[in-house]
């Protein structure tokens, strides 16, 4: 960046910091609904006004309670509400429906509607099950640029909390964590940079408050630089006032000046602010009143941290401490353990003049104003119906994915190894350390190429390690995931000695790319992590971090995160190496492209299940992508109607005629790029044997658009039969031999050597159709493998795999798949009752391709949906994929455009395209620029550049017989893609 650019950036940054520090907005709940507030206030006795300032703890699942189950169980809490008229409840462990029911029970028992609070720093999941868990604030601290997504997270959390009947979130954490050994804040902080902490805290706070949720920034005046957990002791902050004022207080000032509704006071000993020995800041008037209320001008609600914590109870008993807290200036006492004693002590403080009744009344008014602001003046019970669904919207999953994606941080990238390129040169193993089974990380890695997986538990046996060492020597790249089970330093972040030593061995191979799923400070516990080939910090161990880290490694997404804290001298604050995306498929959810998951899934499920239920096909796989983002992948049904094996996303299908455009046309485009294949040359130019045939002067452009008068097909196996149905000599044999070396099906039928020449001669000598016009023909495609070999010098299959499939990571694409896959991974097709007389399973369905040994240009290719889609994504991206331009843009343009529209032909070169009048060959809403193909076995692929849509449909509709054509009659294949078009059109 030029010097002028840097200065301008600094100027803007300072301006924004200045805005955060100077613009002041009072809390929005003040002076709201005064008529209701005054009415309720007048109905309260002096004791009840005190009680409005008290929040007690509750759980909705006593069995899981980590707090005292005697004082937090619903019966005990309800008694406090009825007898003492407390003002609020703080919920801890439980579940959403139980909490909703107990909330309604408590509200019904209360004279004044209760304020319900939770610690939900990273979502309701911080306290209750079956709810959304957003990233920790440390993870969010790694995000650069706009904080709009953090605002959106706050907005979503607010809606979820309010749906559950919760009115206050004790968040955001505004502490600046600059102590790697901090046992209590750490991952809960946005980081160590006060400006970034302030910006992100304000965005989070605004998202919550602007959507109806009260907040409480914590832990004032700053808990970030401590080595003691205030849950267990009273931490000491030894910094001077200048340091505290300039650093720790900065985020709180920014929040206050932006309308913060609440602040939580920490239990800290801070001699620079209050010299009273062992006095927690919670009980300090100089800190709560003089500093927060007067100097910083905070007008909102001041909450105590939990009054049962050792940070306060170590030196001050329950009740007495609570009264001292109000004397210091707090408005709300959280987690008061002995309500009766607390009220008695507060009344004593009033009687002795340490606090006035007027002060109590003023604070009671504020609490009531907050209650009115959250709508408790028109209280309605929590509706339990659809609660789980409402608390887990797909929009939350999208925000989770996007936040995680933007946070992932590369800390080492030797020779720019990430993102991975040239997949055909890599033999990859993945090793998940600290896991007990194949991980999400590993499953996503497998979406991109062939990866062999190994799992090493936290405490492996020596035998496991010995086996691992022996197997890894044959790989040239190791993708290592370090799965840390603890986010806290108390548990050494979940890093065992065995994991650490194993990791060092892997790093020492000089082949390891390491991804750390855990607290960034864990890098201080790992021996020489900087020696890895590449190091990726994912900040947490979640399905999102694992999934997206794998996608980043392969270049489906860029790396843009920066370290929000200083770990050590090797990894200082703001470390982070940016890497680009390489145009590989990204895997996400429909919401990322603006679609509704539930609606899309319901509609596609309906169509696919109809296909299975009406026996149009035993099963199928549907995969859809837009803008290079795979948003729908689902398998339906079983391999066979009578079988029990469910279809898997990774199952291989016989692609039938989709071979034409995923193999033959691909190879021809490549040769066209290399100027070895001319579309305007004639058949004799590349097939010398055709020089004297009736096809000699047919131009390839005509041939490839099915308009060269070629016959549709020749029943080649019939030509090998005698009139009585027996096979002619030198055609087939039931036993394998030198003369009959090639299997047509299994071990029961073999074809005569060099019989392919007979097949090619039969095509050469076949008559032409009398009339010109479009006639779909297999014949020329049978010839392309020999043309490719003649022009390239490589075997057809080798050419495709070496130049395309392996580079794309599309390694399931293969002919004769039984060489590499078990039959349980391959979906069967027809029960052949007229030629091969057997169940076809792992052999090509097409008879002509079978007679060519399973390898032909018109049929014979097998693969799974994901790998087929990679080829088609390359087509959509005009030949670009994985950082390589594998085909030219010109080739894609030329081959996928209408060639003879003036003749009414809808064909491209090899590719099918939409008819000019809708005939059902393509999706109804497909654009004129779209292209695709169908396959006889029940396959369809379609790409639409105008919409950037990519569609793969795999099925075995020919099982058990080809006579079943319901898949076309019911319009299954095109109807599924039209669901997406219709959704996008809306």
Cα–Cα distance for residue pair 178/163, rounded to 1 Å: 36
Closest by Cα among 83, 218, 217, 110 to 165: 110
Which is catalytic among the residues 119, 229, 274, 305? 305
Indicate the Cα dihedral angle 739, 743, 749, 750, nearest 10°.
Answer: -10
Q: How many H-runs (helices) and E-runs (strands) does the chain carry? A: 37, 31
Q: Are 571 and 170 in contact (CB under 8 A)?
A: no
d(C-alpha 17, C-alpha 37), whole Å: 37
Give the number of other CB atoms < 10 A from CB of residue 45.
Answer: 9
The Cα angle at residue 114 between residues 45 and 369, in degrees rounded to 5: 75
Phi-psi region of 303 (alpha: psi -120 to 50; beta: other; left: phi over 0): beta
Q: C-alpha angle with apex 878: 874 to 883, nearest 5 degrees?
A: 60
Known catalytic residue: 778? no
Helical spans, DSSP H, in 352-454: 357-373, 387-391, 394-407, 440-445
> 283 — alpha (psi -120 to 50), left (phi > 0) or beta?
alpha
Question: Is the backbone of residue 238 left (phi > 0), alpha (psi -120 to 50) or beta?
Answer: alpha
DSSP for 68-111 reads -HHHHSHHHHHHHHHHH--SEEEE-SB-HHHHHHHHHHHHHH-S
Active site residue 223: no
* Residue in 61, 231, 596, 627 annotated catalytic: 231
What are the angstrom distances between the C-alpha of 126 and each of 680, 681, 869?
67, 69, 39
| Contact (Cβ atoms closer than 8 angstroms) between residue 535 and residue 516 | yes
CA distances from 684 to 679, 697, 857 (A): 13, 7, 18
- Rounded distance between C-alpha atoms, residue 621 and residue 642, angstroms: 18
Residue of 814, 778, 51, 711 whose CA lies nearest to 363: 51
Contact between residue 53 and residue 363 where contact means Cβ atoms under 8 Å apart: yes
Q: Would you tell me the crossing angle of helices 597-613 and 972-985 to the nearest 10 degrees?
A: 170
Q: Distance between CA 189 and CA 210 in Å, rounded? A: 22
d(CA 196, CA 143): 10
Any idea how long the chain is? 986
d(CA 260, CA 297): 11
User: Using CA atoms, how far apart are residues 688 and 570, in angstroms rounded to an integer?
Assistant: 66
Catalytic residues: 231, 305
């Amino acid at each position: 960046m030029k010097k002028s650019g840097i200065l301008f950036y600094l100027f803007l940054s300072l301006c924004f910091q200045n805005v955060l520090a100077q613009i002041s907005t009072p809390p929005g709940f003040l002076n709201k609904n005064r008529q209701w507030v005054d009415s309720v206030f007048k109905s309260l006795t002096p004791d009840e006004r005190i009680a409005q300032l008290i929040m007690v703890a509750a759980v909705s699942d006593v069995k899981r309670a980590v707090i005292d189950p005697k004082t937090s169980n619903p019966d005990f809490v309800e008694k406090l509400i009825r007898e003492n008229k407390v003002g609020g409840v703080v919920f801890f462990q439980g579940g959403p429906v139980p909490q909703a029911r107990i909330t309604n029970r408590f509200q019904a028992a209360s004279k004044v509607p209760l304020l319900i609070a939770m610690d939900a720093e990273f979502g309701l999941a911080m306290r209750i099950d079956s709810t959304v868990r957003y990233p920790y604030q440390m993870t969010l601290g790694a995000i650069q640029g706009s904080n709009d997504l953090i605002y959106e997270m706050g907005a979503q959390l607010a809606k979820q909390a309010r749906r559950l009947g919760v009115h206050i979130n004790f968040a955001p954490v505004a502490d600046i964590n600059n102590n790697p050994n901090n046992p209590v804040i750490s991952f809960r902080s946005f980081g160590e940079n006060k400006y970034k902490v302030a910006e992100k805290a304000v965005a989070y706070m605004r998202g919550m408050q602007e959507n109806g949720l009260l907040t409480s920034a914590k832990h004032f005046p700053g808990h970030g630089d401590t080595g003691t957990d205030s849950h267990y002791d009273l931490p000491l902050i030894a910094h001077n006032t200048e340091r505290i004022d300039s650093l720790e207080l900065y985020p709180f000032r920014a929040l206050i000046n932006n309308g913060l509704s609440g602040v939580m006071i920490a239990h800290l000993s801070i001699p620079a602010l209050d010299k009273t020995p062992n006095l927690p800041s919670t009980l300090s008037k100089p800190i709560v009143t003089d500093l927060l209320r007067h100097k910083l001008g905070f007008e909102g609600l001041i909450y105590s941290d939990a009054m049962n914590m050792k940070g306060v109870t170590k030196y001050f008993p329950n009740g007495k401490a609570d009264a001292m807290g109000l004397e210091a200036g707090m408005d709300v006492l959280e987690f008061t353990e002995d309500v009766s004693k607390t009220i008695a002590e507060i009344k004593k403080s009033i009687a002795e003049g340490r606090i006035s009744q007027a002060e109590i009344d003023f604070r009671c008014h504020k609490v009531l104003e907050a209650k009115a602001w959250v709508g408790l003046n028109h209280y309605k019970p929590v509706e339990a119906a659809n609660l789980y669904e409402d608390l887990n919207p797909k929009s939350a999953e999208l925000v989770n994915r996007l936040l995680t994606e933007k946070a992932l941080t590369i800390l080492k990238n030797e020779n720019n190894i990430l993102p991975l390129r040239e997949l055909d040169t890599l033999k990859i193993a993945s090793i998940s350390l600290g896991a007990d089974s194949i991980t999400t990380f590993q499953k996503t890695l497998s979406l991109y190429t062939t990866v062999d997986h190994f799992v090493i538990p936290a405490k492996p046996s020596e035998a496991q390690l010995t086996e691992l060492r022996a197997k890894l020597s044959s790989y040239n790249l190791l993708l290592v995931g370090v799965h840390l089970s603890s986010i806290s330093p108390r548990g050494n972040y979940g890093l065992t000695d065995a994991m650490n030593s194993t990791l060092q061995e892997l790093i020492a191979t000089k082949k390891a790319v390491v991804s750390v799923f855990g607290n960034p400070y864990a890098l201080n516990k790992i021996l020489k992590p900087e020696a890895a080939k590449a190091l990726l910090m994912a900040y947490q161990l979640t399905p999102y971090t694992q999934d997206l880290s794998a996608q980043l490694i392969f270049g489906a997404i860029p790396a843009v995160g920066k370290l929000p804290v200083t770990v050590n001298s090797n990894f200082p604050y703001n470390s982070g190496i940016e890497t680009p995306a390489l145009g590989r498929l990204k895997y996400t959810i429909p919401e990322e492209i603006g679609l509704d998951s539930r609606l899309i899934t319901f509609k596609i499920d309906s169509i696919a299940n109809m296909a299975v239920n009406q026996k149009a096909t035993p099963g199928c796989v549907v995969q859809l992508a837009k803008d290079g983002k795979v948003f729908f992948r689902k398998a339906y049904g079983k391999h066979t109607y009578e079988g029990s094996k469910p279809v898997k996303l990774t199952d291989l299908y016989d692609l039938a005629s989709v071979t034409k455009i995923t193999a033959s046309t691909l190879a021809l485009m490549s040769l066209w790029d290399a100027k070895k294949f001319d579309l305007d040359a004639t058949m004799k130019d590349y097939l010398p044997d055709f020089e004297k045939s009736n096809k000699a002067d047919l131009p390839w452009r005509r041939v490839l658009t099915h308009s060269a008068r070629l016959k549709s097909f020749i029943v080649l196996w019939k030509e090998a039969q005698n009139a009585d149905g027996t096979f002619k000599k030198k055609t087939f044999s039931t036993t394998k031999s030198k003369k009959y070396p090639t299997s047509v099906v299994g071990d029961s039928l073999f074809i005569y050597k060099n019989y392919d020449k007979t097949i090619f001669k039969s095509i050469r000598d076949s008559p032409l159709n009398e009339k010109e016009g479009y006639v779909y023909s297999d014949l020329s495609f049978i010839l392309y493998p020999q043309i490719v070999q003649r022009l390239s010098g490589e075997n057809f299959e080798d050419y495709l795999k070496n130049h395309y499939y392996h580079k794309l990571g599309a390694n399931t694409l293969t002919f004769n798949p039984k060489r590499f896959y078990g039959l349980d991974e391959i979906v069967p097709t027809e029960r052949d009752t007229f030629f091969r007389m057997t169940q076809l399973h792992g052999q090509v369905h097409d008879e002509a391709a079978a007679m060519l040994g399973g390898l032909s240009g018109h049929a014979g290719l097998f693969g799974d949906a994901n790998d087929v889609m990679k080829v088609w994504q390359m087509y959509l991206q005009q030949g670009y994929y994985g950082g390589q331009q594998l085909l030219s843009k010109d080739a894609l343009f030329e081959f996928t455009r209408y060639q003879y529209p003036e003749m009414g032909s809808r064909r491209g070169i090899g590719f099918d395209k939409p008819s000019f009048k809708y005939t059902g060959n393509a999706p109804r809403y497909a654009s004129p620029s779209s292209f695709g193909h169908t396959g006889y076995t029940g396959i369809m692929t379609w790409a639409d550049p105008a919409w950037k849509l990519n569609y793969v449909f795999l099925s075995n509709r020919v099982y058990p017989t080809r006579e079943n054509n319901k898949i076309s009659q019911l319009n299954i294949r095109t109807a599924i893609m039209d669901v997406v078009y219709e959704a996008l059109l809306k």
